Structure 1
Amino acid sequence: MRFGILLALLAAMVLSSCATLSEDECRAGNWQAIGQADGAAGRDLNYVDQHAEACAEYGVAPDVAAWRAGREAGLPLYCTVDNAYSLGRSGVSMRAVCPAQAQADLTQAHRHGMRYYDLGREISELEHRRSEVLRDLGTLAPDDPRVGALRSEYSRLGLQLTLLQSQQRLYASYP
């Protein structure tokens, strides 16, 4: 089951990595599979218009009904708590394509993931600042009056870093 979800998400990422469909994809006309990949990627109903535009130059029109059926089959792969958490953890917003009855659980999982992401950004900023302080310390003579303040700042940043890393571990997975 998990392998199938990963495979569908991978297919969705491959299809979504291009702004348009290729001529071969348009001519093959596997609109249900294209729709399923788009659904698994959380694409909205208007996304088929982009396919229509891409395929128009090859004289091909999408089978909208097949695409919509595929999209509906793919949406359950997007509208999962695991995916919502994963998107949040990557700093990516959830698209508003999931059923209303699932929104509360998805929103909670996404927020949990976003907290992990936000803490990671804060950690990166502190690590960068801490390395700047260390670099500054390396340029000063030991008896320079600024050394004490920089050492204090370095220690303070280290404590903050430890605290944020501990907090981030709380968000490293979602129940």
Structure 2
Amino acid sequence: MNKDECLSADWYLIGYEDGAASRNPQQIGDYRKDCAEYSVTPDLTRYQQGHNEGSQKYCTARNGFEVGRQGQNYQGNCPANLEQTFLRGHRDGKDLHTLQIAAKQAANEFEQQQRQLAQLTDLLESKKEQLIADGYTRDERAAIRQEIEDIGLQFADLAEQTEALQARMEETELNYQRRLELLKARYW
């Protein structure tokens, strides 16, 4: 804090903002060090009152859910009487976050497989065009036919994997959506 901030500080409001942002109440120690240079001593009682009030706003099940849903970790700054409520919401939010990540990963893998299938399709078409083009010997055409066969096998394997991946993607998305609907009823 600078000199002006120390001299004009509303210690209740600073405590409230710190509590509402889940900052550790020990933050007052930093303010004390900053303001000592200007011969200002923070009002600990007012800061603690504000921090407790701000914590009431932060340490709710709904906010715990939002913090968890964003993938953030609990910093351990809720008062003991509010911690279990916050943690219940946080666990639900983290569970939903985990399901969402799994759904996104499955969707990304599926898209990657789709791109690989498209590349193999393009390569297969290119080889088929080569096969009927002028200027190739019998041995070269035989080699191209073998390449076409190999690409076809690769394509079949990848297509089979893609089907399984699509099923997994749909299942993870469905699990996420079901859990989201259940938790919406609880936290909205």
TM-score of Structure 1 vs Structure 2, range by shorter chain: 0.7 to 0.9
Instruction: Output the aligned Cα RMSD.
Output: 2.3
What per-residue deviation string (whole Å, max 9, x for no partner) do you get for residues 6-26 of structure 1?
xxxxxxxxxxxxxxx566543
Which consecutive aligned stretches of 4+ in structure 1 deviate over 4 angstroms post-superposition? 21-24, 53-61
Q: Which moved more, 1:79-88 or 1:89-98?
A: 89-98
What per-residue deviation string (whole Å, max 9, x for no partner) do you get for residues 89-124 of structure 1?
111122323343444433222111101111111122
CA distance in structure 1 between the aligned counterparts of 2:56 and 2:117, rounded to whole angstroms: 54
CA distance in structure 1 between the aligned counterparts of 2:64 and 2:170, rounded to whole angstroms: 27
What SS class does the counterpart of residue 92 from structure 1 fall into? coil
Per the alignment, residue 168 of structure 2 pairs with 160
Match of 1:115 among 72, 90, 95: 95
Structure 2: segments with no counterpart, 5+ residues:
125-147
Per the alignment, residue 29 of structure 2 pairs with 49
Q: Which moved more, 1:150-159 or 1:45-54?
A: 45-54
State how 1:25-174 maps to structure 2 within 5 Å: 25-55=5-35, 60-140=40-120, 141-142=123-124, 143=148, 144=151, 145-172=153-180, 173=184
Tell me the percent identity. Answer: 25
When residues 33 and 149 of structure 1 are mapped into structure 2, their CA distance, relative to the original with a 3 A threshold, is same
CA distance in structure 2 between the aligned counterparts of 1:124 and 1:54, rounded to whole angstroms: 45
Name the amino acid aligned to 1:163: E
CA distance in structure 2 between the aligned counterparts of 1:156 and 1:131, rounded to whole angstroms: 13
Please report how far the alpha carbon of residue 65 of structure 1 lies from its aligned counterpart in structure 2 after TM superposition: 2.4
CA distance in structure 2 between the aligned counterparts of 1:107 and 1:148, rounded to whole angstroms: 48
Contact 1:40 1:74 in 2 (8 A): yes
Name the amino acid aligned to 1:154: T
TM-score by length of structure 1 reads 0.75
CA distance in structure 1 between the aligned counterparts of 2:11 and 2:67, rounded to whole angstroms: 26
Structure 1: segments with no counterpart, 5+ residues:
1-20
What per-residue deviation string (whole Å, max 9, x for no partner) do you get for residues 106-155 of structure 1?
32221111011111111222222222212222221345121112112222
CA distance in structure 2 between the aligned counterparts of 1:69 and 1:101, rounded to whole angstroms: 15
CA distance in structure 2 between the aligned counterparts of 1:126 and 1:96, rounded to whole angstroms: 33
CA distance in structure 2 between the aligned counterparts of 1:22 and 1:149, rounded to whole angstroms: 66
TM-score by length of structure 2 reads 0.70
CA distance in structure 1 between the aligned counterparts of 2:51 and 2:82, rounded to whole angstroms: 17
CA distance in structure 1 between the aligned counterparts of 2:44 and 2:171, rounded to whole angstroms: 52
Please report how far the alpha carbon of residue 55 of structure 1 lies from its aligned counterpart in structure 2 after TM superposition: 4.5
